[in-house]
Amino acid sequence: MTEAQKIPDVRKTVTVDVPADRAFAIFAERPLEWFPEKHVFVENRVSLTIEPFEGGRYYEVGADGTEIAWGTVVEWNPPKRIVLTWRVGPHWQPVFDDEKASFIEVDFEALGPGRTSVALTHSGLHRHGEIAPRIHAALDGPSPGETLARYAQVVARVGAAASAVPVTLVNKFEVTGPAEQFEEAFAATSAFFAAQPGFIEHTLHRRLDEPASYVNIARWTDNASLRAAVARPEFQPHSAALRALAVSSPELFEVRLHAKAADAE
């Protein structure tokens, strides 16, 4: 192994408060928003695109129409991993050969229902040749680094906008144990949810013609609050008690139309 090939990878991480599929989508679909402004090959960059398939390009376009590719999509595995080549040459100018490009590996690991660890690794830096040590020195440093810091800001902004949408949880229960015990367990769960941020209300219904069939309709200010509530350790005993007495089928909905009686205040 040559001295150049001994250049270590540079890996940085950040944790964002969105599910892994959302974290992946924001990274892949909004690169213009998180890509460092000083990392630019064209004049007055107006767009930056990652083509969503292996063999695709990721490229920027300037205001005058000039188009330059930063590299190629080597691996496309949503929502877990993206690998891109990184075509940077001497004086931080573009090269047009993937054989002289290193790699950007981005991995998304779900930490829970609404939390994701994102790791960005610059690997194969020796492929830059004699400028590899300088590139490593420029990239090396503590997490999250400029790129992931900007990405986390985009996630927070986009996630906040998305989380403002109210959601309705419709959960069907087929009770397998005594109905009275199920309703008692549900009442205890109801008290837990009533104390959680973002909870608005819920109602438990029982079918008139099938007493073992129940439907809970719950309203929350946003999906993130619901996910946070069910992820709390304190919820697990309630969940276990309900599972012991019934089989549930939860589904999420958003309101598309609301109407009330004409004489209602």
Separation between Cα atoms, residue 24 and residue 18, nearest integer Å: 10
Condensed to tens digits (0 to 9), the pLDDT of residues 177-209 reads 999 999 999 999 999 999 988 899 999 999 999
- CATH code given to domain 165-253: 3.30.70.100
Task: State the average pLDDT for the chain.
Answer: 91
Instruction: Say if pTM beats, i.e. exceeds, 0.75.
Output: no
Query: What pLDDT, on the 0 to 100 scale, is given for residue 264?
Result: 57
Separation between Cα atoms, residue 109 and residue 106, nearest integer Å: 10
Query: What pLDDT, on the 0 to 100 scale, is given for residue 37?
Result: 86
88 DSSP assignment: B
For residue 36, give the nearest of 102, 88, 110 by alpha carbon: 88
Condensed to tens digits (0 to 9), the pLDDT of residues 216-254 reads 999 998 887 888 888 888 898 999 999 999 999 999 998
Quick check: do 4-162 and 165-253 share a fold?
no
Condensed to tens digits (0 to 9), the pLDDT of residues 119-167 reads 999 999 999 999 999 999 999 999 999 999 999 999 988 876 655 678 8
Query: What pLDDT, on the 0 to 100 scale, is given for residue 158?
Result: 81
Q: Break the chain into its structural domains and give their ranges.
A: 4-162, 165-253
More confident residue, 167 or 103: 103
CA distances from 63 to 42, 43, 60 (A): 8, 7, 10
> What's the alpha-carbon Rg for the chain, to the nearest Å?
25
Separation between Cα atoms, residue 74 and residue 53, nearest integer Å: 8
Separation between Cα atoms, residue 194 and residue 52, nearest integer Å: 42
- CATH code given to domain 4-162: 3.30.530.20
Query: What pLDDT, on the 0 to 100 scale, is given for residue 78?
Result: 93
| Mean predicted confidence (pLDDT) in 45-55 | 93
Residue 98 binned pLDDT confidence (cut-offs 50, 70, 90): very high
